[in-house]
Amino acid sequence: MAPDNHSMNYRVEHNGIVARPPACLPTVTKTAVDTLVCALSTRWEPFPRGGEIQTTISYDEGRTWTHPETIWRSPDPRVTLKTDGYMMTLADGNILLPVTYHLVPVRDDAPGTPPTGNHDIDLERLWIDTHDLRIGHRQHHVHCLRSGDHGQTWTNVAVGDMPQESGLLVQFGRPIELGSSDVLMPTYTVFSEEARADGMVDTPGFCRSTDGGWSWGPHESIDIGWSSEANLLNLQDGSLIAIVRDMPDQPLRRTFGITKSTDGGRTWSKAKPLAVQGKMPDLWEEPDGRLLLVVGAEGCNRGREIYYQRDRRSFNVLFISEDGGDTWRRDLELPPIDNETQIIPSDDPAMVPMGHGRYYVVHQSIDIGIERRGHPIDFEAYAWLQGTMIAPA
């Protein structure tokens, strides 16, 4: 709900189901022919293995959607593919879709772990104990799929990764197109303990393309002192802002921080904390300069809280800033599709402008009405995709 003493700027125009389980990690874009394309994963984490990338299309502004079709599945059944980032339609009509390739090997020396009687803890220990999660032992690669025909067919472009033995390049956020025609794809780094001991520092940042996303340069750091999910936005005045999750030394875990650049992302200001808590942020700028920010798992210190807080009907929340991102006010909770459903908006919202102040948001929901354990191993059994059109109130 909106805070006291403020009327809501946005209302729900229509609301419905986009895709049924298993459907996770959505992203959406409006094409050059005014259709909506939503991409999704069938796995939230690399377990169980075999996740693939699917797309579905809407011809009526998100009221109805086609049956999802697979656009990438690895011939190796051990590989999981995930839409960890957001889609973007470039000025020339080409669509970019960042995707991550995961292969986590089974450990040869998996220890036997006696059960504790706690289902969640036992699943998590089984997951960790039986698979080799060490950097340098798993394969993790960033790809950028692209479509030149409004989402009908796709080409796979590999993005240059870091050396796998020292660290991982992780993708999150929407590629943005600068006035210079450069395209920046948000990424962040996760180094091994050995690499950190040698002085390597985890940072958010981006890979830069100077040819419309056909090739990508190395990770360019946003040096602000910590690393996590980051999303970028290029403002009308030519400056950039980055919103990054988990700013350190804050009273609340998962507090976002904001930093700005006035030179195309080459240098950044000292980050400032925002009075917003959550994960997986997405943001856009209105023609009048107002900023819209939608976040998942809002108000949660840990993602698992969405499984157990039965007093909330939504965890996906829209915030608005009228001062360039310095302050934000809570505006609208994205509601379930009706008052009776047990499918509750939970996480990973992605939005796209539709014109006249309207935005279409695809977001992840969980079915709290079925037996669930709240762990990635069985998450796919109750993860839905929901679509919500919001409009000025």
**Other C-beta atoms lying within 10 Å of the C-beta of residue 373:** 16
Q: Please name the residues in contact with 245: beta carbons below 8 A apart, sequence gap of 6 or more.
A: 228, 229, 230, 254, 256, 278, 279, 280, 281
End-to-end CA distance of the chain: 14
**Residue 196 phi, psi (nearest 5):** -65, -40
Contact assessment for residue 135 and residue 191, using Cβ atoms and an 8 Å cutoff:
yes
Sign of the C-alpha dihedral computed for residues 60, 65, 66 and 68 taken in this order: positive
Tell me which of 3.90.226.10, 2.20.25.90, 1.10.3720.10, 2.120.10.10 is the CATH number of domain 10-392.
2.120.10.10
Residue 245, Ramachandran bin (φ over 0: left; ψ between -120 and 50: alpha; else beta): beta
Q: Say how many CA atoms lie within 13 Å of 207 toward its Cβ.
A: 26
Q: Compute the distance between CA of residue 282 and CA of residue 68 in angstroms, rounded to an integer.
A: 23
Residue 5, Ramachandran bin (φ over 0: left; ψ between -120 and 50: alpha; else beta): left
Per-residue model confidence as pLDDT tens digits over 102-127: 998 888 776 666 677 676 666 667 77
Strand segments, DSSP code E, in 164-235 are: 167-171, 176-177, 183-191, 204-209, 219-221, 230-234
**Residue by residue, what is the 3-state secondary structure of the chain?**
CCCCCCCCCEEEEEEEEEECCCCEEEEEEECCCCCEEEEEECCCCCCCCCCCEEEEEECCCCCCCCCCEEEECCCCCCCEEECCCCCEECCCCCEEEEEEEEECCECCCCCCCCCCCCHHHHHHHHHHHHECCCCCCCEEEEEEEEECCCCCCCEEEECCCCCCCCEEEEECCCCEECCCCCEEEEEEEEECHHHHHCCCCCCEEEEEECCCCCCCCCEEECCCCCCCCEEEEECCCCCEEEEECCCCCCCCCCEEEEEEECCCCCCCCCCEEEEEECEEEEEEECCCCCEEEEEECCCCCCHHHHHCCCCCCCCCEEEEECCCCCCCEEEEECCCCCCCCCEEEEEEEEEEEEECCEEEEEEEEEECCCCCCCCHHHHHHHEEEEEEEEEEC
The pLDDT assigned to 6 comes to 59
Two tokens at 190? 């996760």
**Residue 193 phi, psi (nearest 5):** -60, -35
Q: Which residues of the chain have pLDDT under 50?
A: 1-5
DSSP bridge partners of 170: 188
Two tokens at 206? 């981006």
Per-residue model confidence as pLDDT tens digits over 270-322: 999 999 999 999 999 999 999 999 999 999 998 878 877 888 999 999 999 99
Q: How far is it between the farthest Cα atoms of the chain?
A: 60
Cis peptide before 22 (omega within 30 of 0): yes
Contact assessment for residue 83 and residue 53, using Cβ atoms and an 8 Å cutoff:
yes
